[in-house]
Amino acid sequence: MAKTRGTYITVGVTGASGAVYAQSVLRFLDADPRVERVFLVVTDAGQRLIATELDIVAADGKKLAPLLTGTPAKKIEYLPNKDIGASIASGSAPVDAMVIIPCSAGALASIATGIASDLLSRSADVCLKERRRLVLCLRETPLNRIHLENMLRVHDAGATIMPAMPAFYYAPKSIDDIVTQFAYRVLAQLGLPQEKQYRWRGSKLSP
């Protein structure tokens, strides 16, 4: 059946390095006319990372999205991670895709084992059971065997592992370039391709 509404996306932010990626993705989602609603879930460690890396602290969670995006962020609904009864905890909620960016090894482990004890991991679990797109922007290095096994487990359950691992073949000029191009790749994975995404057109050098 044809969809009669815009896209609904859940964005999860955990305590892995790279809060700036979440900030960038949220800004693009907020500005994208194809997107109708964004649900934002941030773990306690995610809040700490946002404070550490972006110097943003929101006494009231509802203020977090406007602080992160620098806009009124009217499309973005902040949902407390403890609120296991929030709409997105159910498969009946109209969510099209979810991204966890950045995704900690801990959050990956919760999803891989189906623990679903907080809203972030429950929403991810729901995406998998409903066969919806789930993108995990894991940020950890080096990787131990547990990380690797957990990645394979969630991959086999339907998730896309998209490590927060920027490319350099497009000759980025700034950190902003690097973050933006990575955000574009993430948005493409969510079904929201961006016109300004760099696209490789073949090598200028002969082999």
Ligand X SMILES: Cc1cc2nc3c(=O)[nH]c(=O)nc-3n(C[C@H](O)[C@H](O)[C@H](O)COP(=O)(O)O)c2cc1C
CB closer to ligand X, 41 vs 126 = 41
Q: Which of residues 109-168 bind ligand X (CB under 6 A)?
A: 139-140
CB closer to ligand X, 140 vs 177 = 140
User: Length of the chain, please?
Assistant: 207
List residues bridging with 7 in a β-sheet: 35
Report the run of H or E that residue 64 belongs to, with start and end: helix 64-69
Q: Which of residues 27-66 bind ligand X (CB under 6 A)?
A: 43, 45-46, 48-49, 52
The separation between CA 11 and the C-alpha centre of its own chain, rounded to angstroms, equals 5
When CB distances to ligand X are compared, the closest residue is: 15
DSSP state, 175? H
Pattern 4-23, ligand X, x by CB under 6 A: ----------xxxx------
CB closer to ligand X, 43 vs 123 = 43
In whole angstroms, the minimum distance from the beta carbon of 51 to ligand X comes to: 10
Fill in the amino acid letter for 47.
Answer: Q
Give the C-alpha distances (Å, rounded to integers) separating 181 from 50, 55, 166, 188. 20, 23, 8, 11
Fill in the amino acid letter for 124.
Answer: A
Interface ranges with ligand X (CB under 6 A) = 14-17, 43, 45-46, 48-49, 52, 104-107, 139-140
